[in-house]
Amino acid sequence: MIVTSLSAEDLKIRIRHHLTADLHVVNQILAEQLRTSSAFVSDITEHVSRYRGKQLRPTLLLLTQRMTEQGTTRESRMLAAAVEMIHTATLVHDDVIDEAETRRHVATVHRRWNTETSVLLGDYLFSRAFQLAASTGDAKACQLIGLATNRTCEGELNQMAARLGQLTSEVDYFRIVRDKTGQLFGLSCLLGSRAGGGTDRQQRAARRFGLRLGMAFQIADDVLDLNGPRAVTGKDAGNDLQNNRQTLPVIRAMRLVPESERPRLRRILAEESPGHLINHREIQSGIRSALETADVLTSRAIADLTCFPACPDRRLLESIATLAVSRDA
């Protein structure tokens, strides 16, 4: 596993200090875009604003622009806000699909209100995001956002198809996580590099960095679903198992045991709570194998940044990649 002397909390503090002004403007833009005369809509958008957490995608966009060209612009901050709204919309819709009760220690929208409200809110956020992106006057950026959002939604649909068809192939899994999570990470880095005037080579490298980071991030998230306590992660543990979703640690655990042992392992996965699964050596082996793959992805992601100049922004991106796998929330 990749080792770093920097803790996750130290990294958060450094990023917060480094991007204070930029993220402040991004959040101002988000507040402006979601301001409405409807008390009901305001109540919902205020509630969902608590989902923002690390604001990783805007952070990637801003750092990638600064790494390419020092300083950020109003347009790049607007695009960062648009990407964050798209991400939030996918979370709201995901919670309906997964029947999740909590996210970031607060009730999901569909749990506090109802499914109809969640679906409409997600649509509202998508609409506002595209309107905001269009207001920059950058038609190419709008096209890139549209393409990435299409792939993200396609990833969600393929995940549903995999679940209904009981598919357990690693090829299916990686295709899903590349689209479901990797696309918005890749989009954020591509938009940042492009806004900073990066060369075609740098833009391609930035997108690859984001794609690989997003996939590693999703693998770590899938591991947390098995062994991350709700008090730490802020969301329902074992949600993937409850929804019959085959994730990499489970796929690897199945592959690493003899075929004769697989029915027993399936019973363990079906019957035991997430907090107890980690006690089984087969699950531990699957988790280790999945995290090793995530480490390979982050190493390749960091290598993608070598075409950019060494600077504090690049070092922060490298630290984000390194800590993506070892995070606990």
User: What is the average pLDDT across 313-326?
Assistant: 93
Per-residue pLDDT band at 327 (split at 50, 70, 90): confident
Q: Is residue 292 part of a domain?
A: yes
As a whole number of angstroms, the distance between CA 200 and CA 132 comes to 25
Q: In CATH, what number is assigned to the domain containing residue 210?
A: 1.10.600.10
Instruction: Tell me if 41 is assigned to some domain.
Output: yes
Range(s) of the domain holding residue 226: 8-324
Could you give the CA distance from residue 46 to residue 44 in angstroms, rounded to a whole number?
A: 5
Q: With bands split at pLDDT 50, 70 and 90, how would you rate the model's confidence at 282?
A: confident
Q: Can you tell me the distance from the alpha carbon of 191 to that of 63, in angstroms, rounded to the nearest whole number?
A: 11
Residue 3 lies in a domain: no
**With contact defined as beta carbons under 8 Å apart, do 323 and 8 qualify?**
yes
Question: How many domains are contained in the chain?
Answer: 1
The answer to whether residue 196 is domain-embedded is: yes
- Greater confidence (276 vs 136) lies with 136
Residue 207 in any domain: the answer is yes
Does position 71 have pLDDT exceeding 80, yes or no? no
Cβ burial of 244 (10 Å; 0-12, 13-18, 19+) is exposed
Crossing angle of helices 115-134 and 139-164, in 10° steps, is: 150
Task: Please enumerate in sequence order all residues whose Cβ is within 8 A of that of 140, keeping only pairs 6 or more positions apart, or say none.
Answer: 194
Distances (CA, A) of 11 to 51, 87, 108, 300, 311: 20, 22, 28, 21, 16
Is residue 239 predicted with pLDDT exceeding 80?
no
Average pLDDT over the chain reads 89
The percentage of residues in the chain with a pLDDT greater than 90, rounded to a whole number, is 64
Q: What are phi and psi of 190, to 5 degrees?
A: -65, -45
* pLDDT computed for residue 271 by the predictor: 78
Q: What is the pLDDT of residue 174?
A: 94
Residue 2 lies in a domain: no
Residue 306, C-beta contacts closer than 8 angstroms, at least 6 positions apart: none
Predicted local confidence at residue 36, as pLDDT: 93
Ranking 25-39, 190-204, 251-265, 297-311 by mean pLDDT, the lowest is 251-265
Q: At what angle do helices 312-324 and 200-227 cross, to 10 degrees?
A: 30
pLDDT value at position 246? 83
Among the listed ranges 6-10, 52-56, 166-170, which one has the minimum average pLDDT value? 166-170
pLDDT tens digit sequence for 207-234: 999 999 999 999 999 998 887 655 455 5
Give this prediction's pTM: 0.91
How far, CA to CA in Å, does 15 sit from each of 56, 60, 138, 140? 10, 10, 27, 28
Q: What percent of the chain has pLDDT over 70?
A: 91
Which three-class secondary structure state does DSSP give residue 274? helix
Enclosing H/E stretch for 234: none
244 vs 198, residue with greater confidence: 198
Longest dimension (CA), the chain: 62
Residue 210 belongs to a domain:
yes
Give 157-194 pLDDT, tens digit per residue.
888 888 777 666 899 999 999 999 999 999 999 999 99
131-158, pLDDT tens digit by residue?
Answer: 999 999 999 999 999 999 999 999 988 8
Q: What amino acid occupies position 216?
A: A
Q: What is the CA radius of gyration of the chain?
A: 20
| Helices within the chain (DSSP H only) | 8-18, 20-33, 39-48, 56-68, 74-98, 109-112, 115-134, 139-164, 170-177, 183-195, 200-227, 230-233, 239-242, 248-256, 262-271, 274-277, 281-304, 312-324
Asked, for residue 29, whether it belongs to a domain, the answer is: yes
pLDDT of residue 329: 64
Closest listed residue to residue 78, CA positions, set 147, 18, 138, 17 = 138
Q: What is the pLDDT of residue 242?
A: 64
CA 158 to CA 183: how far, in whole Å?
14
* pLDDT attached to residue 281: 85
